[in-house]
Structure 1
Amino acid sequence: MPADSPPGLAGATPERRAGRQQRRAAATQPPRGTSASPVEVRRSARRSRTVSAYREGDRTIVLIPARMSEAEEQRWVGVMLDKLAAQESKRVIGDSELSDRAERLSDQYLEGRARPASVRWVTNQNTRWGSCTPAEGSIRLSHRLQGMPEYVVDYVLLHELAHLLVPGHGPRFWRLLEAYPRTERARGYLEGVVAADRLPRLPAAREE
Structure 2
Amino acid sequence: MDYFADVEIRRSARRRKTVSARVEGDTLVVMLPTGLSASAEQRYVRDMAERLAARRERRRPTDVDLHERAMALSRRYLDGAAVPSSVRWVTNQNSRWGSCTPSSKAIRLSHRLQEMPDYVLDYVLTHELVHLLVPGHGRDFYALMDRYPQRERARGYLEGFSGRSGESWDEPEIDEGGGAAAPESAAG
Q: Which TM-score tier does this pair reach, normalised by the shorter chain? A: 0.5 to 0.7
What is aligned with 1:37? Answer: none
Deviation of the 1:91 alpha carbon: 2.1
1:110 is aligned with what amino acid?
A: L
Letter in 2 for 1:196: R
CA deviation vs aligned residue, 1:13-42 (integer Å, no higher than 9, x gap): xxxxxxxxxxxxxxxxxxxxxxxxxxxxxx
TM-score in terms of structure 1 length: 0.52
2:59 partner amino acid: R
Question: Which residue of 171, 175, 183 maps to 2:151?
Answer: 183
In 2, distance between residues paired with 1:198 and 1:142?
17
Q: Counting helix residues as a fraction of each chain, which structure ranks higher? A: 2
Task: Tell me, yes or no, if structure 1 residue 105 matches structure 2 residue 73.
Answer: yes
TM-score by length of 2: 0.57
Aligned-pair distance for 1:100? 0.3
Residue in 2 that maps onto 1:126? 94
Rounded Cα–Cα distance in structure 1 between residues aligned with 2:166 and 2:64: 33
Offset at residue 177 of structure 1 (A): 1.0
| CA deviation profile, 1:107-140 (whole Å, cap 9, x unmatched) | 0000000000000000010010000000001000
Which residue number corresponds to residue 40 of structure 1?
Answer: none
* Off by >3 Å, runs of 4+ in structure 1: none
- The structure 2 residue matched to 1:172, chosen from 140, 147, 155, is 140
Distance in 2 separating the partners of 1:126 and 1:174 = 25
* Matching residue within 153, 157, 160 for 2:125: 157
What is the count of residue pairs matched by the alignment? 112
Counterpart for residue 196 of structure 1:
164
Q: Amino acid of the residue matched to residue 128 of structure 1?
A: R
Where structure 2 has 5 or more consecutive residues not aligned to the other structure, the ranges are 1-54, 168-188
Residues 31-66 of structure 1: per-residue CA shift (max 9 Å, x gap): xxxxxxxxxxxxxxxxxxxxxxxxxxxxxxxxxxxx
1:143 aligns with 2:111: yes
What SS class does the counterpart of residue 96 from structure 2 fall into?
A: coil
- From 34, 57, 64, the equivalent of 1:96 is 64
Q: What is the alpha-carbon distance in structure 2 between the residues aligned to residue 188 and residue 91 of structure 1?
A: 23
Q: Percent identity?
A: 61
CA distance in 2, matches of 1:121, 1:108: 22
2:173 maps to none
Aligned partner of residue 176 in structure 1, secondary structure: helix
Compute the displacement of 1:179 (Å). 1.2
Query: Within 5 A, what are the aligned runs for 1:32-111?
Result: 91-111=59-79
One-letter amino acid of the counterpart of residue 99, structure 1: H
Quote the RMSD (CA, aligned, Å): 1.8
- Larger Rg: 1 or 2? 1
Gap regions ≥5 residues in structure 1: 1-86, 200-208
